[in-house]
Amino acid sequence: MPKLTIDGREVEVEVGATILDAAHKLGIEIPTLCFRQNYRPQASCMVCVVRVNGSDTLVPSCATRAEDGMEVESETEQVKAARRTALELLLGDHLGDCVGPCQTVCPAHMDIPTMIRLIAEGRTEEAVATVKQRIPIPAVLGRICPELCEKGCRRGDLDNPVAIRLLKRYVGDYDIVAEKPYVPECQPLTGKKVAIIGAGPAGLAAAYYLLQAGHACTVFDDREQPGGMLRYGVPEEALPRKVLDAEIHSIVRLGVELRPGTRVGRDIDMEDLSCEFDAVLVAAGEMSEETSGGLGLLMAGKSLQADRRTQMTATPGVFVAGSALSPSRHAVRAVSSGRAAACAIGQYLAGEPISGTERPYTVRMGRLNEEEMATFSAGTPAYDRLVPAGGEEIGFSDEEARAEAQRCLHCECPGLHDCKLRKWAMLYQASPTRYRGERRTFQREITHPELIYEPGKCIACGLCVQIAESAGERLGLSFVGRGFEVVVGVPFDEPLAAGLEKAARECAEACPTAALTLRAANADQDTDEIEPVQLEQSGTVEEPTGDGSGVNR
């Protein structure tokens, strides 16, 4: 039996085994897209390449037989660069959004598609948990947010964007009056303490996420009540104080120690804070030279001087968030900045490299033309954006929220968490735009009872062709076209259902790019999965509470 080494580790394999088999035996993971166990190797994607015996020519590990005495390298910079290039070439004409455009443009990168799907299914408690992964004060932002995410909503090209802000408010209001409001799981106390200067949206958001990580938080503010500009800058009619107080309470109850009426730099020195606490976060809003001087920090224009990625100042352990870092009128940006600061502080306290937070990795499909839009929106409700029957003050009823949520086109990929192309692209930091060519025409095949097929995502790996052949399909699948235009289809222009009568599920599970997905993962395209909401013309909205909050208590 041949013996070989991979990255300096010796392994013995059966005669006829490949380098990929040998790597698996050693527990070395080599990336693959077009390979599937028990099927003949395609060697078409070229992301599994390795270097053999010092040669400058790289070979596909899935199709190269292991030979006695081979010396294989799988992690050199040359190999990594080649894999990255192979991935970038495949991404260059990949036609699909990994992450929904709404989530991409949201400053907090909230998982809007999942929130909307859960609302449509009546699973509001789960929607609350989804929203609060990124936004701890949805009822507040659902009233004052400038709807930045709706500018990215593809439904706006069809008629009007989905009312994302009002749906976020609906979720927040639901939690405020729930018998058992959502309480995130908090890790055991780490013994680390963080001082937060400023009880506005950035400071409160940072405390919310730091407490979940097990770090004690003390929030200092020179005002008597927390909330910052949410309380002292936003009119009552736009943001009822009962709503603000309720959501601040949902953060404070996790264990925040509030020290109101305390100005750092006047009532307590910054040096004392640095001695008493393991980290300090400055989230006190826009800074003046006088204020920054009192904190012993340097200004850079209208903000404090800090690394934009890590949010740490030149003083180790002192971080900045919100308008103190980047002046903005939008509370959602402050919340996002506070969460990012909490992440960076957590890394600092753990002694890890401070990398901050990353934007969700995504390929962008871009704008669709009218014909493509008709294909993309097929199966979704045709009615236009809903307006709450009780007006903005009341917000959506349960029925209205579900009906509006069903308007969502769900642009995000149903295979987001299983897509091998995205997984390896993220690992190898492959750029989705480096080799971007002319965009393909968007197509979606929805005639199969079990599958959805999007040819624009297909990399012609041939796995589904082999699977159909092995299953003894009557027609099966084959490659159609030539060169860069080749796609997988059913012979004789028959529908997909005629080609895949037996092996549909295995083909979907094998597809490395979510070109083939099961209908169960495409609830947005299978409207029978969700019972349509029938809106009545009256009687669907709760009566006002009389306090103008629009929250039924």
pTM here is 0.90
Is 411 domain-assigned? Answer: no
Mean pLDDT, 10 residues at a time, the chain of 553 residues: 96 97 97 95 95 95 97 97 98 95 96 98 98 98 95 96 98 97 97 98 98 98 96 96 98 98 94 96 92 90 93 96 94 97 98 90 95 95 96 95 97 94 97 91 94 95 96 95 83 94 96 93 48 44 43 52
Domain of residue 500: give its range. 440-529
221 and 285 in a single domain? The answer is yes
Decide: helix, strand or coil at residue 333.
helix
Question: What is the Cα–Cα distance from 108 to 253, expressed in whole angstroms?
Answer: 23
Helix (H) or strand (E) holding 218: strand 216-220
Is 357 domain-assigned? Answer: no
Helix (H) or strand (E) holding 510: helix 504-510
| Encoded tokens for 360 | 């969700």
Give the residue from 358, 385, 405 where a domain finishes: 405
Is 168 domain-assigned? Answer: yes
Is 58 domain-assigned? Answer: yes
Decide: helix, strand or coil at residue 85.
helix
Residue 162 near residue 153, CB atoms below 8 Å = yes
172 and 206 in a single domain? The answer is no
> Could you tell me the CA-to-CA distances from 347 to 311, 351, 417, 546 in Å, in that order?
12, 6, 25, 46
484 and 522 in a single domain? The answer is yes
Helix (H) or strand (E) holding 503: none
209 and 307 in a single domain? The answer is yes
244 and 327 in a single domain? The answer is yes
List the Cα angle 338/341/347 in 5-degree steps. Answer: 145
Is 413 domain-assigned? Answer: no
Residue 188 near residue 163, CB atoms below 8 Å = no
285 and 394 in a single domain? The answer is no
Give the residue from 39, 61, 91 where a domain finishes: 91
Question: What is the Cα–Cα distance from 311 to 303, expressed in whole angstroms?
Answer: 12
27 and 164 in a single domain? The answer is no
Q: Burial of 19 by CB count in 10 Å (0-12 exposed, 13-18 middle, 19+ buried)?
A: buried
Question: Which CATH number covers residue 145?
Answer: 1.10.1060.10
Is 73 domain-assigned? Answer: yes
Is 186 domain-assigned? Answer: no
The domain tally of the chain equals 4
340 and 391 in a single domain? The answer is no
Residue 168 near residue 325, CB atoms below 8 Å = no
239 and 304 in a single domain? The answer is yes
Residue 517 near residue 507, CB atoms below 8 Å = no
Is 213 domain-assigned? Answer: yes
List the Cα angle 45/50/52 in 5-degree steps. Answer: 140
322 and 466 in a single domain? The answer is no
Question: What is the Cα–Cα distance from 215 to 319, expressed in whole angstroms?
Answer: 15
Q: Burial of 41 by CB count in 10 Å (0-12 exposed, 13-18 middle, 19+ buried)?
A: middle
Q: Burial of 483 by CB count in 10 Å (0-12 exposed, 13-18 middle, 19+ buried)?
A: exposed
70 and 110 in a single domain? The answer is no
373 and 477 in a single domain? The answer is no
φ and ψ of 6, to 5 deg: -125, 120
Give the residue from 91, 120, 139 where a domain finishes: 91
Question: Which CATH number covers residue 258?
Answer: 3.50.50.60
Question: Which CATH number covers residue 28?
Answer: 3.10.20.740
Return the pLDDT at 293. Answer: 87
Scan for tokens 């698996």, then name that residue: 24
